[in-house]
Structure 1
Amino acid sequence: MSLGDFLARLHQNDGSDNHVTSAQQIRKAIISILQKQRLFGEVLLQLPRENDLQLPAMMGLRWEDNHLVLVINPEKLVHVRNDELQSLLEHEALHLIWMHPLRYASYPHQDLVQIATDVAVNQYLTESPQGTVTLSQLEKVLRQKLMPKLDSQDYLNILEQLPAEQQEKLHQPGLNLNGSKQKENATADEVKTADTHNGWQEPKTSQQVSNQVVRLANIKRILNRSWKQTPQRDRGLLPGNVKAQLQKAHQTKIVDWRQVLRHQFGLIARGQVNSHARFNRRQPLRMDLPGKVTRLDPAVDIFVDNSGSVTDQEIVQTLTTLEKMLKKTKLTANVYSFDARVTAKQKLHDGKKLDFRRTGGGGTSFQCVFDYLHLHHLTKRNRIIIIITDGWGEERINNYHYQNVYWLMMTKANQLSVKEPPGRVLEMRG
């Protein structure tokens, strides 16, 4: 949508004075954002909007038919200043850029999600929206310094690992995160809520069918269009982390993951695995290419992300495909479930029906996979490690030198949060 089309749409009268006023406010705020931070303004131009007088906050992102919509309560914008509205709109744009409504749609601890995601995005704003949490506020409550500019998942991991008494501080009624108490008799109008994350989750009564891949594609369509509409000079003004996140939207080369794993299964079934400890026979001068070593007792370990964003149907289909591939090479595999820790273990082999059921569906920690391998002293050179995931977790891990790892992504390969992941990242498309 062009800027002219957007402004024309905002001029349409929807029959309510408050709605017209809010439309004028939104228009003025986005024009200001376009002038100072073009990319954020372009993201906001791409977002459909609708009014909802029942919304408990000024605005928030909401899933509707696998599309994100910016929902606004016009009655709560009546006395909001333009600079406050700009900060709130930029806040929503940053939530979208980091795909928070997608990543945390099924997360069980939504109260902690709200704190972690707000802390993450507010660090890129000059002024934080009223009622949203900042890094300095969180540090005051926890009485500890936190690393700035981390991903929201890193802050979420910190919050989840807090002792119960510290977590309780975050939930005390009437307690602001700056440490001050709100007025006990304050009315809803006096305590204004700028942003709500309620729309990130599907209501239990919803008849919509959520699709992780479709939702990701729709978000990336918005980000790609916004990036293309942003001139090069304005891209240079973006914070480095924001720019890096947006550049992930570029297409990556598609490799058939089945073909790759079929080849690897064949190698270890014959007693051969890739190893950088040996020269590549065809190109011995290429130190980046592994050679092959012979080993006995091949092992395949499959770790399935237990997060709610990966559907049971997708997991079962993938495991069925892997079982058929293993059958041809007469290999068996251990299948584990993991989120913040590794849990259930089953055998995957011909003739046995796999009864895989997820439990919980909390935050994802890839580190627990490698901790499990290390603590159980599982060998490295004759082992293939497969991690089925949507990619959202921490950025840095200690892989204990386990290198023969294949990350099977339910989303795009460049959505894996781990920086410099060991092994190979494959997309499960097609």
Structure 2
Amino acid sequence: METFDTQAQKLYIRSYELVQDFLRAARQNKSQGPSQVHIPADFAAEFFRLVDKVNLGLMEDKDNFYGYFLFQMSKEIRFDISSPTGVNFKAAKYVIYFNPVIFLTLTLKQMETTIKHEILHVVSLHLIRAKELRGSCSALAMNIAMDITINTYLDYLPPYATTLEWVNLNYGLKLLPFETFEYYAAKVQTALDLLEEAGEATEDPGKNQPAETAYDPEKTHDIWQRSDPVDEQTLRGFTEKVIDASQKGSIPAYLESLISSLKSSKADLSWNLYLQRLMGSVTSNPKKTVTRRNRRQPDRLDLRGELKSYKAKIAVALDISGSISDEEFNQAVKEVLSIVKNYNHEILMIECDSEIRRVYTLKSVKDIKSRSKIRGSTRFTPVFEFANTKKLNLLVYFTDGKGEDELRVKPKGYKTLWVISGKGDRLSLKEAYGVVKKLDPIEIKTNEWDMIQVEKGGYSMNHQEKIGM
């Protein structure tokens, strides 16, 4: 009887030949060549028999949760993903994908680990949470952040796996284990921005190719974007059902904690609680200085070093053409000031409709001005054109949601939180580039005198809120 390793090696050779045949055909006839690698039925059957053996090992292991979870997933082969495995949500099921050319180079234990890796992404709700950071963090920063949160829990990692130690070494960071995905994403994005300023940024590899033969951290989770459209509450509910069906015995403490966090978290945080989340992950802007040498190129005296400014730059945009009342808005701004008071912050108030009508600095409730009487139709693009020139950390946009269906410019380097007024129902944009929340009546516990005393002092790490799931 063939050993597992022998079977895997034979399958690898054949999968490699399938990719080479595809590439030759594509080169010979560029205009009418095949669009994807042909997968013979007998190859697929033999490959999934090997996957069943891997799953049998998961079932016999103390972590049999993963084996039961895998039983409930659909399985497909894709040669166009740049990691051994990938996952998304299709036809009311989680689907796990395998790229044989990468997957079959792993040992049995590493194969088990990469399957656990994908399941932990699902349990951690990364498919949902990654959408919330899209536009404010690059794909590379998000992929690195998600992978280091997951890989911290796993043994027998592939040699190219993204670990916390690797990230700290290669990006000059001092990240600690067991922080949240959002926290890591903000820190890694700052490091990537510094590399780009120094001219050391990696080249954009472009779109996925029809056949991938090597691991690429920038594209490892691209398959998530091919999930079927489904609302967050439905996906959470489905995930909980799969998790419940997978718990047949005791589970590791870390997994129990992740599951508990998923079940205890609210499906739809109010906008003000979500703003607290975002403030906890806002990164400070680097400030150039001649008193410190460049950290990455200390011998280059012509390059200035950097210090942290620790000032959160926030813009609050008010759609004056919308249905939000003065009372609603004044109450919401008080809540914004209350949330940011423990950060060294700078707030720009932007009044807008089809164009920007007025911009002023907001430090306390006393600075809120009566809204302009000039009111036109609504366009969101002018605010983003303005915001892109201000090196913001965060834009909070209050609107009834009725504007254009597509932004002419994309937000650059800052997070966006859309707050739809109580009379609005949805955002007209096809792509929000941020999180959309409803404006509900808010109970303000802090009185106006306390609000006037909003703290403008130094930034303290003790004030940062942990970001749950």
TM-score, structure 2 length as denominator?
A: 0.48
Given the alignment, which residue of 393, 398, 417 partners 2:467? Answer: 417
Q: Deviations over 1:122-180 (max 9, x none)?
A: 11001223432111111221344321111121111211223744467985479xxxxxx
Aligned to 1:222: 239
1:80 aligns with 2:95: no
Q: Deviations over 1:348-367 (max 9, x none)?
A: 9899789484842867599x
1:36 aligns with 2:62: yes
Tell me, in whole angstroms, the C-alpha distance in 2 between the residues paired with 1:65 and 1:383: 54
1:417 maps to amino acid: I
The answer to whether the 8 Å contact 1:25/1:82 transfers is no
1:27 aligns with 2:30: no
Question: Helix, strand or coil for the counterpart of 2:114?
Answer: helix
2:261 maps to amino acid: K
The answer to whether the 8 Å contact 2:192/2:201 transfers is no
Deviation at residue 71 of structure 1 after TM alignment: 1.9
Tell me, in whole angstroms, the C-alpha distance in 1 between the residues paired with 2:73 and 2:160: 23
Given the alignment, which residue of 42, 48, 55 partners 2:74? Answer: 48
Question: Helix, strand or coil for the counterpart of 1:20?
Answer: helix
Tell me, in whole angstroms, the C-alpha distance in 1 between the residues paired with 2:141 and 2:171: 14
Given the alignment, which residue of 152, 155, 167 partners 1:126? Answer: 155
Deviation at residue 33 of structure 1 after TM alignment: 1.9
Given the alignment, which residue of 69, 80, 84 partners 2:95? Answer: 69
The answer to whether the 8 Å contact 2:86/2:223 transfers is yes
The answer to whether the 8 Å contact 2:236/2:267 transfers is no
Given the alignment, which residue of 240, 247, 253 partners 1:238? Answer: 253
1:221 maps to amino acid: F
> Between Structure 1 and Structure 2, how many residues are aligned?
293
Question: Helix, strand or coil for the counterpart of 2:463?
Answer: coil
Give the alignment of 1:15-414 within 5 angstroms.
Answer: 16-34=41-59, 35-64=61-90, 68-105=94-131, 107-108=134-135, 109-162=138-191, 164-166=193-195, 171-172=201-202, 189=213, 191-192=214-215, 196-201=220-225, 210-213=229-232, 216-232=233-249, 234-235=250-251, 237-239=252-254, 242-250=255-263, 323=324, 326=327, 334=333, 345-346=350-351, 355=378, 357=380, 359=384, 360=411, 380-382=446-448, 398=463
1:120 maps to amino acid: T
When residues 356 and 149 of structure 1 are mapped into structure 2, their CA distance, relative to the original with a 3 A threshold, is farther
Question: Helix, strand or coil for the counterpart of 2:144?
Answer: helix
Aligned to 2:27: none
Deviation at residue 60 of structure 1 after TM alignment: 1.0
Deviation at residue 324 of structure 1 after TM alignment: 6.7
When residues 127 and 53 of structure 1 are mapped into structure 2, their CA distance, relative to the original with a 3 A threshold, is same
When residues 349 and 42 of structure 1 are mapped into structure 2, their CA distance, relative to the original with a 3 A threshold, is farther
Tell me, in whole angstroms, the C-alpha distance in 1 between the residues paired with 2:265 and 2:224: 27
Deviation at residue 230 of structure 1 after TM alignment: 1.2
Q: Deviations over 1:212-251 (max 9, x none)?
A: 42xx42244233432354145x13x232xx3222113437
The answer to whether the 8 Å contact 2:87/2:95 transfers is yes
Q: Deviations over 1:310-351 (max 9, x none)?
A: xxxxxx9xx978x37957xx9775498999996654489899
Tell me, in whole angstroms, the C-alpha distance in 2 between the residues paired with 1:104 and 1:137: 22
When residues 28 and 171 of structure 1 are mapped into structure 2, their CA distance, relative to the original with a 3 A threshold, is farther
Aligned to 1:183: none
Question: Helix, strand or coil for the counterpart of 2:86?
Answer: strand
Question: Helix, strand or coil for the counterpart of 1:217?
Answer: helix
The answer to whether the 8 Å contact 1:305/1:364 transfers is no
The answer to whether the 8 Å contact 1:302/1:334 transfers is no
Tell me, in whole angstroms, the C-alpha distance in 2 between the residues paired with 1:56 and 1:198: 9
Question: Helix, strand or coil for the counterpart of 1:125?
Answer: coil
Aligned to 1:406: none
When residues 256 and 139 of structure 1 are mapped into structure 2, their CA distance, relative to the original with a 3 A threshold, is closer
Tell me, in whole angstroms, the C-alpha distance in 1 between the residues paired with 2:274 and 2:115: 42
Tell me, in whole angstroms, the C-alpha distance in 1 between the residues paired with 2:180 and 2:149: 6
| Pairwise CA RMSD | 5.3
Tell me, in whole angstroms, the C-alpha distance in 1 between the residues paired with 2:123 and 2:267: 23
Deviation at residue 120 of structure 1 after TM alignment: 1.1
Tell me, in whole angstroms, the C-alpha distance in 2 between the residues paired with 1:253 and 1:197: 25
When residues 193 and 304 of structure 1 are mapped into structure 2, their CA distance, relative to the original with a 3 A threshold, is closer
The answer to whether the 8 Å contact 2:90/2:228 transfers is no
Question: Helix, strand or coil for the counterpart of 2:263?
Answer: coil
Tell me, in whole angstroms, the C-alpha distance in 2 between the residues paired with 1:45 and 1:33: 11
Tell me, in whole angstroms, the C-alpha distance in 1 between the residues paired with 2:160 and 2:242: 31
Deviation at residue 209 of structure 1 after TM alignment: 7.5
The answer to whether the 8 Å contact 1:29/1:85 transfers is yes
Deviation at residue 304 of structure 1 after TM alignment: 11
The answer to whether the 8 Å contact 2:113/2:154 transfers is yes
Tell me, in whole angstroms, the C-alpha distance in 1 between the residues paired with 2:266 and 2:257: 18
Gaps of 5+ in 2: 1-38, 205-210, 280-317, 352-368, 385-410, 418-443, 452-460
1:37 maps to amino acid: D
1:94 maps to amino acid: L
1:247 maps to amino acid: S
Question: Helix, strand or coil for the counterpart of 1:53?
Answer: coil
The answer to whether the 8 Å contact 1:301/1:333 transfers is no
TM-score, structure 1 length as denominator?
A: 0.52
